[in-house]
Amino acid sequence: MPPKKQTGIFLPYFQGPRLSDFPQALNNILSQDNVHYYDGVYQAVNSTYYVRPSTKEMLLKVHSDEMIQQVQRSGYFETASYSAGVTIQAAEEIFLGNIDNVFAFTGVGDHHAGRNFFGGMCYFNGAALAIAILREKGLKRFAIVDTDSHHADGTRDIFVRDKNVLHVCFCSQNYSDNNYNIDIEIPFVTKDEDCLQKMRQVFVPAAKAFRPEIIFWEFGYDATQGEYGDKGLTKDCHLEFAKIIKSTADTVCQGRLITVLCGGARRDLATYIIPKIIAALAELD
């Protein structure tokens, strides 16, 4: 048996009720030897580091000064800075070899934040910022897979002409181009198996051919039944996504995978789904 992957859990400062059950809902997971807890809110016994917000210098690597100032006036600047900060720190910890894969809790964020615009409760693009930092450290090829219900217009804006970033987005349209941008339509009434089949048939071979050095998973659960982006997926579908994406990362990039929490509002679904995903990342089942 190869050694278990080392999994980092990053929990920053945030506003809003959806993560109210965390970190308590992770009690059995946090005590595992291969799980590393990076804490920005709570003082836990096995918390080794404190999560830092992203600095303006970091934000300017992706976003315009004007947009950053708009976010400062939005009332969400602090939550947004911590949300982006955890993704950047997660990438740095993986780069240093301290951990292999990550679940990054975010208060807001990511995929609707472009270079010069934001919306849909996304303020800064943590994955894009992490990629900018990793590029400075010498990494060259990146993949982003997005299972949030909505189109990742911000992420696409940032990487649309970038041939070193594979962007596979599950949303409401089919699209592909020569710059490694792929959209996969998830119809409004979808069965888990149809969606999982598309993950296996489109994302997995694309990632194997592209050979990224790290994979980012923009994980939103808003396509779950009863959520605001309901596409008919059951709450158990996300664990199956996790297994496929982790296995792909294990095959193509030594397991380097950063899971970034995106859309989804219901507290009960977060509490049901997220511990199962983290257990899969840490190979606890």
Task: Please state the closest distance from residue 72 (CB atom) to Zn ion, in A.
Answer: 24
Give the binding range for Zn ion (CB under 5 A) out of 93-101, 123-131, 149-157, 230-238.
149-157
Task: Please state the closest distance from residue 178 (CB atom) to Zn ion, in A.
Answer: 17
Give the binding range for Zn ion (CB under 5 A) out of 13-21, 97-105, 171-179, 188-196.
171-179
Cβ closest to Zn ion, residue 53 vs residue 114 = 114
Give the binding range for Zn ion (CB under 5 A) out of 89-97, 158-166, 247-255, 259-267.
259-267
CA-based torsion, 70, 55, 256, 157: positive or negative:
positive
Give the binding range for Zn ion (CB under 5 A) out of 99-107, 177-185, 194-202, 205-213.
177-185
**Burial readout 102-137 (b: 16 or more C-beta within 10 A, e: otherwise):** bbbbbbbbbbbbbeeebebbbbbbbbbbbbbbbeee
Task: Please state the closest distance from residue 275 (CB atom) to Zn ion, in A.
Answer: 21
Give the binding range for Zn ion (CB under 5 A) out of 4-12, 167-175, 185-193, 275-283.
167-175
On whether the CB atoms of residues 124 and 115 are closer than 8 A, the answer is: no
Among 168, 263, 269, 280, binds Zn ion (CB under 5 A): 263
Please compute Rg for the chain using Cα positions.
Answer: 17
Q: Give the Cβ contact number of residue 78 at 10 Å.
A: 15
Task: Please state the closest distance from residue 186 (CB atom) to Zn ion, in A.
Answer: 10
Q: Which residues fall within 8 angstroms of residue 193, CB to CB, at 6 or more apart?
A: none
User: Count of residues binding Zn ion (CB under 5 A)?
Assistant: 11
Asked whether position 171 contacts Zn ion by CB under 5 A, the answer is yes
Asked whether position 151 contacts Zn ion by CB under 5 A, the answer is yes
Task: Report 185-224 residues binding Zn ion (CB under 5 A).
Answer: 220, 222
On whether the CB atoms of residues 261 and 106 are closer than 8 A, the answer is: yes
Give the x-and-dash track for 7-36 against Zn ion (CB under 5 A): ------------------------------
Asked whether position 122 contacts Zn ion by CB under 5 A, the answer is no
Asked whether position 183 contacts Zn ion by CB under 5 A, the answer is yes
Separation between Cα atoms, residue 6 and residue 190, nearest integer Å: 34
Alpha-carbon distances of 133 from 29, 49, 113, 143, rounded to whole Å? 29, 19, 17, 15
Q: Which residues fall within 8 angstroms of residue 204, CB to CB, at 6 or more apart?
A: 244, 248
Task: Please state the closest distance from residue 103 (CB atom) to Zn ion, in A.
Answer: 18
On whether the CB atoms of residues 67 and 118 are closer than 8 A, the answer is: yes
Closest by CA to 244, choosing from 259, 226, 229, is 259
Cβ closest to Zn ion, residue 30 vs residue 202 = 202
Separation between Cα atoms, residue 122 and residue 152, nearest integer Å: 10
Question: Which residues of this protein are in contact with Zn ion, per CB under 5 A?
Answer: 148-151, 169, 171, 183, 220, 222, 229, 263
